[in-house]
Amino acid sequence: MINIDAKSHVRGESVYLDDIPLLEGTLFACVYDSQVAHGKLKSVDISEAKQCAGVVKIILAKDLKGENQIGGILPDEPLLADEEVHFCGMPIAIVVAETDEQARHAVKKIKAEIETLEIITDERIAFEKGSLIAPPKKFVMGDTEKAFKDCEHIFEGQTYSNGQEHLYIETQGAYTIPSEQGGIKVYSSTQGPTAVQKAISKVTGLPWHQIEVDVTRLGGGFGGKEDQANAWACICAVATQLTKKPVKYSLHRMEDMRMTGKRHPYSADYKIGLDKDLKIIAYEAVFYQNAGASCDLSLPVLERTLFHCTNSYFIPNVMATAYSCKTHLPPNTAFRGFGGPQGMFVIESAIAHAAEKLGVDKAEIQQKNLLQNDDEFPYGQKVVSEAEQSWHQADHKFDFNRLKSEAEEFNSSSKYFKKGVSLMPICFGISFTNTRMNQARSLVHVYLDGSVAVSTGAVEMGQGVNTKILQVAADIFSLSQERVKVHTTNTLRIANTSPTAASAGADLNGHATRIACEKILERIKKVASEVLEVNSEEISLRDGMVFIGNSPTEMTWVKLLEKCYEKRISLSEHGHYAPPGINFDWSTAKGHPFAYHVFGTAIIGVTVDCLRGTYEIDYVKACHDFGKTMNTAVDLGQIEGGIVQGIGWMTMEEVFYDGQGRLRSNALSTYKIPDVYSVPKEIDILPLETSRENLAIMNSKAVGEPPLMYGIGAYFAIREAVKAFNQNNFLQFDAPFTAEKVLMNLYKNQSN
């Protein structure tokens, strides 16, 4: 089944925030933001801006009717700066004007007097100064201190991985409309409609039932709208509350890049110990996360770094510690993988370090330490492992040795181009690590014309979740896809939603839809059995017809619905789903947090141009654990997109703040994401063959985030190619591996 949005996307008919027709009298908001990363806000002069044409209102922190607070996890984030500013880009004032241009013009006339205070942009410096978001988190298994004594080889080092700009095609934005009795209807480009509702409630003082949030779809979120859509919706809502007019704000790209947080940069220390057979016996890591100026989602991101700090490997003795360091950057936030990729980069670096010093192939160490069934993760959960299976099936299909010797042969006869190959196994846990967030609801209406309307808490952001939900309903009722419509995500139809995140959107909302549809189906079948005078178990629905056993009857789906109505049987249901068997206890740092894990093994090949430092990704070939995919095209799209985004993070995207905390990579001219020329020339995905049952919807495992981590392999493949050219250099583990860094490393300590 094709993605249900495919046609309207191609025709430009899909509706995003900026496509919503505006009501007459709509006003436009624009934010005046701090140009200083840390300082005392002495005064704000709005006198000149107030006089500008079209300006209706200028809102400062003191004007808010509710609390000046939008922190979702810790209350440490004001909507508008009050006494201090904490990052460049922090909103100080909201200008509301009759047109977008007028609002933007007036913003330029505002002046703020700020007394600069000490600016910290580096996570290690923040750590040294004791500037932490919260006390550290720690995972311990076995006894590393004792185990290191028995190790044959021990290696220690440092790594750094930089942040990443989400660069969703649709920037952040919101449109708010006053409704009766002081309520507000909100259109928001958010992954979390309830999060928006809650934040607006805080800053306006309105109860949740006065706030309706509606989301049709996003032009991408990638985690950047899990929490950070709230501010813009709050800004519009506050303006609507104070002016009683509809208010819209759709950020310009440079505003978005400057004012919103990104993937967390991490610095880390590692210590890895191996025995003489290359088994990893002990591993210690200390992570320093650059949280930015407030908590946002930094703490759960930090936790997921710990959950994934051993990637696909079993290590009996582990001690991992993680610090969330507070700096004067925009608050960093969720980004596909949610801290997991940052943890996995460190263990991969430690293994590469060991392999290079021992003169063995990195893949040999990786393979020897893959998770086996019933091994235990450092957090206590027992593994249901596909790690070895995916490795072997990938090897069988793609022949790792052939690919490696092809590269070696090429290198032996090529002076200025070198190839590198690397293997990247992945293991990613599916569920919000905060157990209570793993729940979802779905509202299903069957109409008397035979059509079906479904609403869930899932937000469509290009990942195809609505297509999957539609498939669930169509499958259960055995209807053609035209008879089912998945509607907007709306807090009046579905309450108390978790954000669409953690790759769990399709699972949670798909199961909730399944439950709602199954309940309706059961009632309908009972009516059919009464009318047709047979047992309910003998009734089935197939392609819009009622069957008894294997024989069709005269009864159509629509006729049957008519009978249900006559008998006054409800054709609507509100399904609720909560995955069973998950728990986690932070007092012991043990539990069973994940419904299941997604595995896979990729082999990545690159070619480096050793005169220019540039590189091309020749191929990514992977055996990936889909469980049993319910939509091959959607899932392949997710894999391709995830791989390219992961490669971008690891190789070319360089977020750059200067010492004053100003974002210098603040536009597409200074921040480079993969384009059509830099994507892998070949992506070849082999589905893992497995018949294991899992908790995923229709056994189709979550696919949103895991493939991003194959991109880490590109970093190590480039490293191999650089080493083939320059053997005199032990490279730092410093991502992204930009062409500039590649060039420097090709000639570092090099005599020729």
Q: Which is nearer to ligand LUZ, 199 or 297 (CB)?
A: 297
142: exposed, middle or buried (C-beta count within 10 Å: 0-12, 13-18, 19+)? middle
SS3 408: helix
Which of 390, 431, 467, 503 is the binder for ligand MTE (CB under 6 A)? 503
Quick note: the x/- pattern for ligand LUZ over 16-55, rule CB under 6 A, is: ----------------------------------------
Q: Which of these segments, 335-343, 373-381, 473-481, 658-666, binds ligand MOS (CB under 6 A)?
A: 335-343
Residue 416 and residue 173: Cα distance in Å, rounded? 48
Q: Is 467 in the site for ligand MTE (CB under 6 A)?
A: no
Which of 55, 103, 501, 683 is the binder for ligand LUZ (CB under 6 A)? 501
Q: Which of the residues 80 through 99 are near ligand MTE (CB under 6 A)? A: none
Q: Is 157 in the site for ligand MTE (CB under 6 A)?
A: no
Q: Is 377 in the site for ligand LUZ (CB under 6 A)?
A: no
Q: Which of the residues 698 through 717 are near ligand MTE (CB under 6 A)? A: 702, 704-705
Three-point CA angle 727, 732, 735, nearest 5°: 120
Q: Which is nearer to ligand LUZ, 501 or 541 (CB)?
A: 501
SS3 625: coil
Q: Which is nearer to ligand LUZ, 294 or 367 (CB)?
A: 294
Antiparallel, parallel or unpaired: β 733-735 and 153-161: parallel
Q: Is 500 in the site for ligand MTE (CB under 6 A)?
A: yes
C-beta atoms surrounding 461 within 10 Å: 27
Q: Which is nearer to ligand LUZ, 26 or 435 (CB)?
A: 435
Q: Which is nearer to ligand MOS, 71 or 339 (CB)?
A: 339
Quick note: the x/- pattern for ligand MTE over 325-354, rule CB under 6 A, is: -----------x------------------
Q: Which of the residues 688 through 707 are near ligand MOS (CB under 6 A)? A: 705
Which of 71, 261, 300, 646 is the binder for ligand LUZ (CB under 6 A)? 300
Q: Give which of ligand MTE, ligand MOS, ligand LUZ, none residue 425 binds (C-beta under 5 to 8 Å, depending on kind).
A: none
Question: Strand runs (DSSP E) across 86-203, as ranges?
Answer: 91-97, 111-116, 137-141, 153-161, 173-179, 183-188
Residue 351 and residue 365: Cα distance in Å, rounded? 7
> What minimum distance in Å lies between the beta carbon of 268 and ligand MOS?
20
Contact between residue 529 and residue 563 where contact means Cβ atoms under 8 Å apart? no
Residue 460 is among the residues annotated as catalytic for this protein: no
Residue 176 and residue 185: Cα distance in Å, rounded? 6
Which of 28, 87, 335, 710 is the binder for ligand MOS (CB under 6 A)? 335
Q: Which of the residues 224 through 283 are near ligand MOS (CB under 6 A)? A: 226
Q: Which is nearer to ligand LUZ, 313 or 432 (CB)?
A: 432
Residue 610 and residue 344: Cα distance in Å, rounded? 28
Residue 32 and residue 104: Cα distance in Å, rounded? 9
Instruction: Report which residue type is found at 507.
Output: D
Q: Is 472 in the site for ligand MTE (CB under 6 A)?
A: no
> What minimum distance in Å lies between the beta carbon of 6 and ligand MTE?
12
State the chain's maximal CA–CA distance in angstroms. Answer: 91
* Distance of alpha carbon 717 from the chain centroid: 25
Q: Is 191 in the site for ligand MOS (CB under 6 A)?
A: yes
Polymer length of the chain: 752
Residue 231 and residue 243: Cα distance in Å, rounded? 18
Q: Is 501 in the site for ligand MTE (CB under 6 A)?
A: yes
Instruction: Report which residue type is found at 293.
Output: A
Contact between residue 499 and residue 469 where contact means Cβ atoms under 8 Å apart? no
Q: Which is nearer to ligand LUZ, 337 or 680 (CB)?
A: 337
Q: Is 222 in the site for ligand MTE (CB under 6 A)?
A: yes
Q: Take residue 664 and report the two structure tokens written for it.
A: 């210098």
Q: Which of the residues 223 through 262 are near ligand MTE (CB under 6 A)? A: 223
Contact between residue 560 and residue 547 where contact means Cβ atoms under 8 Å apart? no
Q: Which is nearer to ligand MOS, 296 or 720 (CB)?
A: 296
Q: Give which of ligand MOS, ligand LUZ, ligand MTE, none residue 433 binds (C-beta under 5 to 8 Å, depending on kind).
A: ligand LUZ
HSE-up of 176 (CA within 13 Å, CB side)? 33
Q: Which is nearer to ligand MTE, 112 or 427 (CB)?
A: 427
Q: Which is nearer to ligand LUZ, 300 or 579 (CB)?
A: 300
> What minimum distance in Å lies between the beta carbon of 636 and ligand MTE?
12
Q: Which residues share a beta bridge with 268?
A: 159, 287
Sign of CA dihedral 508, 510, 514, 520: positive
Which of 367, 389, 463, 651 is the binder for ligand MTE (CB under 6 A)? 463
Q: Which of the residues 416 through 435 are near ligand LUZ (CB under 6 A)? A: 432-434
Within 131-247, residue ranges assigned H as helices are 144-149, 193-204, 230-243
Q: Give which of ligand LUZ, ligand MOS, ligand MTE, none residue 300 binds (C-beta under 5 to 8 Å, depending on kind).
A: ligand LUZ
Residue 138 and residue 129: Cα distance in Å, rounded? 20
Between the CA of residue 143 and those of 286, 378, 650, 718, what are the distances in Å?
A: 16, 12, 32, 35
Which of 41, 322, 502, 610 is the binder for ligand LUZ (CB under 6 A)? 502
> What minimum distance in Å lies between the beta carbon of 498 and ligand LUZ?
8
Q: Give which of ligand MTE, ligand MOS, ligand LUZ, none residue 600 binds (C-beta under 5 to 8 Å, depending on kind).
A: none
Helix 712-725, helix 340-358: angle, nearest 10 = 30
> What minimum distance in Å lies between the beta carbon of 451 and ligand MTE?
24
Q: Which is nearer to ligand MOS, 333 or 411 (CB)?
A: 333
Q: Which is nearer to ligand MOS, 191 or 298 (CB)?
A: 191
Contact between residue 123 and residue 324 where contact means Cβ atoms under 8 Å apart? no
Q: Is 336 in the site for ligand MOS (CB under 6 A)?
A: yes
Q: Is 694 in the site for ligand MTE (CB under 6 A)?
A: no
Annotated catalytic residue, options 123, 705, 720, 740: 705
**Residue 40 φ/ψ, nearest 5 degrees:** -85, 130
586: exposed, middle or buried (C-beta count within 10 Å: 0-12, 13-18, 19+)? exposed
CA-closest candidate to residue 298, choices 267, 262, 328, 268: 262
Antiparallel, parallel or unpaired: β 27-33 and 247-250: parallel
Which of 157, 220, 330, 579 is the binder for ligand MTE (CB under 6 A)? 220
> What minimum distance in Å lies between the beta carbon of 499 and ligand MTE?
9
Q: Take residue 500 and report the two structure tokens written for it.
A: 């669409």
> Which residues, other chains included, contact 584 with Cβ-Cβ below 8 Å and sequence gap of 6+?
379, 433, 435, 590, 591, 592, 593
Antiparallel, parallel or unpaired: β 440-446 and 452-456: antiparallel
Strand-by-strand arrangement of the 545-548 sheet? 539-542, 545-548, 551-556
Q: Which is nearer to ligand LUZ, 280 or 502 (CB)?
A: 502
> What minimum distance in Å lies between the beta carbon of 546 and ligand MOS?
41
Which of 85, 291, 315, 502 is the binder for ligand MOS (CB under 6 A)? 502
Q: Take residue 585 and report the two structure tokens written for it.
A: 């206890």
Q: Give which of ligand MOS, ligand LUZ, ligand MTE, none residue 641 binds (C-beta under 5 to 8 Å, depending on kind).
A: ligand MTE
Three-point CA angle 150, 153, 157, nearest 5°: 120
Residue 434 and residue 750: Cα distance in Å, rounded? 50
Q: Is 465 in the site for ligand MTE (CB under 6 A)?
A: yes
Binding site for ligand MOS (CB under 6 A): 191, 221, 223, 226, 334-336, 338, 501-502, 705
Binding site for ligand MTE (CB under 6 A): 220-223, 336, 461-463, 465, 500-506, 638, 641, 702, 704-705
Binding site for ligand LUZ (CB under 6 A): 297, 300, 304, 334, 338, 432-434, 501-502
The catalytic residues are 705
